Amino acid sequence: MSATHIPNTASATGEDNPFKDSPAKGLICRACQTTYGLVAQHACWNCFGPLEVDYDLAKLAKVTREDIEAGPQNQWRYAPLLPCGVEESDRVTLNPGLTPLIEADNLAKALGMRKLWVKDDSANPTHSFKDRVVSTALTAAVKLGFNRFACASTGNLANSVAAHAARAGFPSVVFIPHDLEPGKVITTAVYGGSLVSVEGSYDDVNRLCSELTETDDFEKTAFVNVNIRPYYAEGSKTLGYEVAEQLGWRLPEQVVVPMASGELLTKIHKAFEESVEIGLVPEAKVKVYGAQSAGCSPIATAFAADTDEITPVKPKGIAKSLNIGDPAAGPYAIESVRASGGDMAAVNDDEIREGMRLLASTTGVFPETAGGVVVATLRKLLEAGSLDPQAETVIYNTGDGLKTLDAVSSLVGPTHNVKPSLKSAKEAGLLES
């Protein structure tokens, strides 16, 4: 029945709150509502449910648009709405955020939509939205006493953790599945640190990392998405606040978000609701739509079957950054989408490639496979009639196409081949007269 409070040595309400000026009051179990202090823990001792950050709403409500606008030109302008404190000097960060919100008029026209925006998070320092969650997690990690950084990654997280460790001068140990795109392996390895290729899927990598956190050797190692996951997850909220601010402090009517673990979607939805609750934007309901690849669609499949029981799958297909077969936040993503009145869909590899090309050729934004998943899903939901072409829509591009070149390399290339002469140019059809 009623929720219990498990006291902890680092209780947020006591003197030991590690995060000065934080609006967070502790962690709370998403399943049974048991509360904890602001500690390095991700699962509930009562029911093994996932823990998330619990805020003091009165403190959040004190934050004004003006406070935020006076902040730095990066995600830390939302620090008063994040758990890890507002002191600039103790941040572990590449200062991600304030990425472009692009008016996608040509794409809107191609799809028969009235108003469409692309939130382009490939513009972050390591070219994916993961810089937001990693900056948030590692800033918390150092204050919680960790001295080494780690993660279980589908690719972009590996880039970001290795780069943050390099900037801050900390050692890192990054774990990836052995079959990642070369573009993601090289762009991680170049930062230095240990890069561990694991013979298995992401879900195997994740399990290994969970086991490592239990060992003495890894006691002081912060796995951003494992033992300090509650702090990591909160960084995704900035993708909600930022869209609200960039639209002139109001919410869009529909958003389309890619899903791997389902955390990003859940937290964007949470940020929209919080923005209304604390008075940053006028009351509005945003329909949230989830996008997956058909090669790995455990969340969309459960949603379509009208259940929140996720059946884990063995991931396949080119959208490797989304290839999580046993998604931790899957049930919460389903809850968010259902509560918002949205929908989900999954798209195959050919549709993903076509989505990548369509976004690039209509907006100048070259997305990675995950962005292709979003564009193809947008198209599919429009065709199915579950997404309204007349409603103002924001789609999230979370990563950069330069990291997943193989996905489109067979599809595009030079359109003409000529010798360096006018004669040859004419023969190739470049001259009419």
Ligand X SMILES: *Cc1c(COP(=O)(O)O)cnc(C)c1O
Q: Which strands make up the sheet holding 35-36, listed edge to edge?
A: 35-36, 24-29, 51-55
Total residues binding ligand X (CB under 6 A): 17
Among 131, 242, 245, 263, interactor with ligand X by CB under 6 A: 263
User: Which is it for strands 51-55 and 24-29: parallel, antiparallel or unpaired?
Assistant: antiparallel
- Please report, for residues 233, 270, 307, the alpha-carbon distance to residue 266 in angstroms, rounded to integers and kept in the order given: 9, 6, 17
Q: For residues 313-342, which are near ligand X according to CB under 6 A?
A: 321-322
Residue 222, strand partner residues: 149
Residue 398 binding result from Zn ion, ligand X, none, given CB thresholds of 5 to 8 Å by partner type: ligand X
Question: Are 386 and 343 contacting, i.e. CB atoms less than 8 angstroms apart?
Answer: yes
Q: For residues 19-38, which are near Zn ion according to CB under 5 A?
A: 29, 31-32, 34
Among 50, 83, 258, 317, interactor with ligand X by CB under 6 A: 258
Q: Which of 238, 267, 282 is nearest to 71 (CA)?
A: 238
Q: What is the contact mask toward ligand X in residues 110 to 149, using x (rule: CB under 6 A)?
A: ------------------x-x-------------------
Q: Tokens 């969970």 label which residue? A: 210
Q: Report how far residue 78's alpha carbon sits from residue 282's, in angstroms, rounded to the nearest whole number.
A: 18
Residue 75 binding result from Zn ion, ligand X, none, given CB thresholds of 5 to 8 Å by partner type: none
Q: For residues 37-76, which are near Zn ion according to CB under 5 A?
A: 44, 46-47, 49
Does 398 bind ligand X (CB under 6 A)? Our answer is yes
Residue type, 40: A
Residue 120 binding result from ligand X, Zn ion, none, given CB thresholds of 5 to 8 Å by partner type: none
CA atoms in the 13 A half-sphere facing the CB of 431:
9
SS3 category, 119: strand
Choose one: 10-18, 209-217, 253-261, 340-348; the region binding ligand X (CB under 6 A). 253-261
Choose one: 254-262, 268-276, 349-357, 415-423; the region binding ligand X (CB under 6 A). 254-262
> Nearest approach, Cβ of 8 to ligand X (angstroms)?
26
Q: Which strands make up the sheet holding 221-223, listed edge to edge?
A: 194-198, 172-177, 148-152, 221-223
User: Of 49 and 200, which CB lies nearer to Zn ion in the complex structure?
Assistant: 49
User: Of 172 and 227, which CB lies nearer to Zn ion in the complex structure?
Assistant: 227
SS3 category, 217: helix
Residues that bind ligand X (CB under 6 A): 128, 130, 154, 156, 258-264, 321-322, 368, 370, 398-399
